[in-house]
């Protein structure tokens, strides 16, 4: 009985990560199916050999389509995490109270000498580990963004060159690809949508409510209440 309760507790207490993780894999698979179909349509038009599902999963065409979205999502979260340290939105649950902009005191952040017995160990070491840990969430997102963007550039130049060869054009080196319209169009079209989503979330959450969601203020909270989560 205890085991059963523990397992039930695990699923329930991790349902947010688990549901989105599974949904991610399902949608990634669906993207691969749709992406392969589109890729093969192009090959068929050009009279070239169409490719199987396994080959498509290992192709640069699939890799660049995946990584261009990954990098923008990690960039969005990095900017949001870092930006909300300093930037405020009156009335938004996504914002801190208006008098708390900045990195806040060690007392407020329960770090350094103010770390508690149950605080993460690196929150109170007072050395580089504390400095690193106190920025670890933003840094992780920044590192994932840079790795994903690098992967986008590498898979992107391969996909771009494959297309160029089909069009009887010479391939370009990676360095030239970084200055290409293909690379920047893929990057910027994702960035603009992420920035729009953040701006929309920040301002819409001032006036609109979602009962029970921590991303929303309580339904009855005033529009001016800032930094209140429901």
Partner 1 sequence: MRIPALVGASAAVAVLCACGAPQARQDGAVRAGRAFEDALAAGAYGAACELLAPESREQLEEDGKQPCARALPSQDLPRGGGAARVDVHGRQALLRLDGETLFLSQFDDGWRVTAAGCVPEGGDEPYRCVLKGA
> Rule CB under 8 A: which of 79-138 touch partner 1?
none
**Near partner 1 by CB under 8 A, which window of 95-103, 160-168, 188-196, 198-206?**
160-168
Q: Closest approach of Cβ 218 to partner 1, in Å?
A: 30
**Near partner 1 by CB under 8 A, which window of 94-102, 107-115, 150-158, 208-216?**
150-158
Q: Closest approach of Cβ 49 to partner 1, in Å?
A: 4
In whole angstroms, what is the distance from residue 177 CA to residue 158 CA? Answer: 10
Decide if residue 162 touches partner 1 (CB under 8 A).
yes
Q: Closest approach of Cβ 207 to partner 1, in Å?
A: 33
Phi, psi (degrees; rounded to nearest 5) at 88:
-125, 155
Cβ 84 vs Cβ 94: under 8 Å:
yes
| Residue choice 36, 63, 72, 91 for contact with partner 1 (CB under 8 A) | 63
**Near partner 1 by CB under 8 A, which window of 52-60, 120-128, 181-189, 216-224?**
52-60
**Near partner 1 by CB under 8 A, which window of 84-92, 117-125, 142-150, 182-190?**
142-150
Q: Which is nearer to partner 1, 52 or 212 (CB)?
A: 52
Decide if residue 192 touches partner 1 (CB under 8 A).
no
| Residue choice 36, 64, 92, 177 for contact with partner 1 (CB under 8 A) | 64
Q: Which is nearer to partner 1, 79 or 158 (CB)?
A: 158
Cβ 156 vs Cβ 186: under 8 Å:
yes
Cβ 56 vs Cβ 62: under 8 Å:
yes
Cβ 202 vs Cβ 92: under 8 Å:
yes
| Residue choice 3, 6, 12, 46 for contact with partner 1 (CB under 8 A) | 46
User: Which residues would be at the binding site for partner 1 (CB under 8 A)?
Assistant: 46-49, 51, 58-61, 63-64, 66-67, 70, 140, 144, 147-148, 150-151, 154-159, 161-162, 164-171
């Amino acid at each position: 009985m205890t085991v059963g309760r523990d397992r039930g507790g695990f699923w329930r207490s991790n349902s947010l990560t688990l549901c989105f993780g599974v949904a991610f894999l399902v949608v990634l698979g669906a993207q691969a199916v749709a992406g392969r179909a589109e890729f093969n349509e192009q090959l068929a038009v050009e009279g070239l050999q169409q490719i199987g599902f396994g080959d498509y999963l290992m192709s640069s065409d699939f890799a660049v389509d995946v990584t261009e979205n990954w990098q923008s999502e990690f960039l969005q979260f990095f900017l949001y995490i870092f930006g909300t340290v300093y930037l405020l939105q009156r009335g938004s649950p996504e914002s801190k109270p208006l008098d708390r902009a900045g990195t806040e005191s060690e007392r407020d952040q329960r770090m350094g000498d103010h770390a508690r017995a149950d605080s993460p160990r690196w929150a109170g070491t007072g050395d580089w580990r504390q400095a690193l840990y106190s920025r670890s969430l933003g840094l992780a997102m920044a590192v994932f963004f840079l790795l994903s963007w690098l992967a986008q550039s590498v898979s992107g130049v391969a996909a771009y060159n494959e297309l160029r060869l089909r069009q009887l054009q010479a391939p370009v080196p990676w360095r030239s690809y970084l200055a290409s319209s293909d690379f920047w169009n893929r990057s910027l079209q994702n960035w603009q949508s992420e920035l729009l989503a953040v701006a929309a979330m920040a301002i819409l959450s001032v006036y609109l409510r979602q009962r029970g969601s921590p991303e929303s203020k309580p339904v009855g909270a005033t529009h001016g209440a800032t930094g209140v989560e429901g």
